[in-house]
Structure 1
């Protein structure tokens, strides 16, 4: 088993996986609007077109069906559009190829790729951008990195009956710091962030501990979370954008109960996915 999973033990029959940014933590908008987009504009000197570019960055990462995309995938998408519409992005093909072929989308994996592709301008700039984003996120005031309503109560309740895993594509240090601040880590059993692999991979590795797929649920706010659940044959519970507190309240009062009594897949699952798709449109 991967080192990221070492020491993990299955304690209960049920498993609830939870995304962090935009799902449990109300941090997704502020991170993209104040950190990700502006750092890209600065790194690639795009100030001339920054208003249009920042608007498009937010569409890609927050308000369309690519919401929640990995930072490097979102970067590659944005830079390809910029290359076509505004100005040439030097050595872009190398970055796009790495994003499309790497098995791990993280700073550490990017460092390894830079060593193998000595002289690549785009890979070096992508790493500098990612480091700048992480630094900008740490500088955000704590009071602006908030917890969605009803999350703590929902996770505390879920942890009575299920193992709870954080499954996030965010930076691990940021996830640990935010969850620790709000007292959420005590209601979790393992933290799987950007460095552990894709969400689909992480769920798949957790299933190897012997969970029945019909006793596993992924809570998320983005299409990538739904896809990760579907790829592993487990259930999905959506935290609806702009209705997060209500979603967590329903999870505690209804959703978890359906999972525990074995009826989650009898209509409720399909209904929740339909709500999710309609809300994001």
Structure 2
């Protein structure tokens, strides 16, 4: 077990969030990076359906088109190849797709609703891209400094802050998947473990602390530090790991792309079959440290490639909005009943 985890203060995160990655000291033969939401714990659906989406509808007055907003937001955040992407990028996808749909245009006109304009959001994401920055509240505030009278950015930041403020109330209610603790114990004997995720540093720190699994980590790289690919690259360079000494565990296409950009291996935690994935991990990790993982990875990636959707339901022939929305209603209801029984959810 590692015992060298150093928690960053808020001042340190604000001043130089990537410092812990630049100064990373290697202690083991291998590097294992792990995504968090939907990978370590079954909190992906909960965070999106109970927090991200309701908070946005509340901030922007979109409850009257709840079924349309949830359908689009859930597609981009949970069920498609975009799963696990940054919140602001997912929001851009969601709002642009809603604005482009004729059925949504008809509904918002009938109800007198105005969809949020994405101009400032688009410019913020372009600002991050040009300056090689990660997307998160820290860089959103820096962007705000360049246009201090842009009220739409204040509102966007308010939503994102509210989301972050809500997460800690959920973290102690959603334990890690079975076999996660045992797997971390084994991994830590052979590899430096780093959480690489698009959640905020503070949310990640809170979850791993509350669940008493922080003790296995070397460090945490959240959205403030950069993209997943950038963060893996920084640790790889600082630690001097070779390509075949790097493994990432993740549940999204973005995780796969991030580690492959750094020429490492990927172990998919299959969405919908997470428990089974963790049960099988031990054999695969043993193959990884023995240099025999490549053929196993190839088989796993074939399966992983069939799970996430690449085309939304509303772009397919014969699309029926109410029918499509109802398909995921049992998932929504189960999460609300388990965590927020009196929460606001459209009944269909």
Structure 2 length normalisation: TM-score? 0.76
CA distance in 2, matches of 1:92, 1:19: 28
Residue 150 of structure 1 and its aligned partner are, at CA, apart by 0.7
Q: How does 1:171-210 map to 2 (within 5 A)?
A: 171-208=200-237, 209-210=239-240
Cross-structure match for 2:199: 170
CA distance in 2, matches of 1:166, 1:141: 16
Q: How many residues align?
A: 278
- SS for the counterpart of 1:139 is helix
Separation (CA, whole Å) in 2 of partners of 1:62 and 1:90: 22
Name the counterpart of 1:100: 126
Whether 1:29 and 2:28 are equivalent positions in the alignment is no
Separation (CA, whole Å) in 2 of partners of 1:31 and 1:179: 16
* Whole-angstrom CA distance in 1 between matches of 2:19 and 2:245: 25
Deviates more, 1:3-12 or 1:187-196: 3-12
Q: Report the CA distance between 1:226 and its aligned residue.
A: 0.4
Q: CA RMSD in A?
A: 1.7
Compute the displacement of 1:7 (Å).
4.8
The one of 172, 184, 191 aligned to 1:142: 172
Relative distance call for 1:141 and 1:182 in structure 2 (3 A) is closer
Q: 2 CA distance for matches of 1:125 and 1:12?
A: 44
Distance 2:297 2:181 in 1: 23
Deviation at 1:262, TM superposition (A): 0.8
Greater C-alpha Rg = 2
TM-score by length of 1: 0.93
Unpaired stretches in structure 2, ≥5 consecutive residues: 1-15, 310-348
Contact 1:15 1:215 in 2 (8 A): yes
| Rounded Cα–Cα distance in structure 2 between residues aligned with 1:169 and 1:161 | 25
1:244 aligns with 2:274: yes
In structure 2, how many angstroms separate the alpha carbons of the residues matched to 1:273 and 1:211? 23
Q: Distance in 2 between matches of 1:115 and 1:123?
A: 10
Partner of residue 272, structure 1: 300
Q: Which residue of 2 aligns with 1:218?
A: 248
Instruction: Tell me the distance in 2 between the aligned counterparts of 1:90 and 1:166.
Output: 33
Contact 2:95 2:115 in 1 (8 A): yes
CA separation of 1:82/1:118 partners in 2, compared to 1, >3 Å: closer, same or farther? farther
Cα distance in structure 2, aligned partners of 1:141 and 1:237: 24
| Of 87-96 and 63-72, the range deviating more from structure 2 | 87-96
Deviation at 1:5, TM superposition (A): 2.1
Instruction: Show the counterpart of 1:123.
Output: 153
Where in structure 1 do 4 or more consecutive aligned residues deviate above 3 Å? 82-91
Return 117-126 or 36-45, whichever deviates more: 117-126
In structure 2, C-alpha distance between the alignment counterparts of 1:80 and 1:280, rounded to whole Å: 21
- The one of 24, 27, 32 equivalent to 1:11 is 27
Verify the 8 A CA contact 1:154 1:249 in the aligned structure 2.
no
Distance 1:114 1:83, change over 3 A: farther
**CA deviation string 1:101-132 (max 9, x = no partner):** 40220101001111102322332221111011
Alpha carbons 2:172, 2:210 under 8 Å: kept: no
Between 95-104 and 65-74, report the one with greater CA deviation.
95-104
Structure 1, unaligned stretches of length 5 or more? none
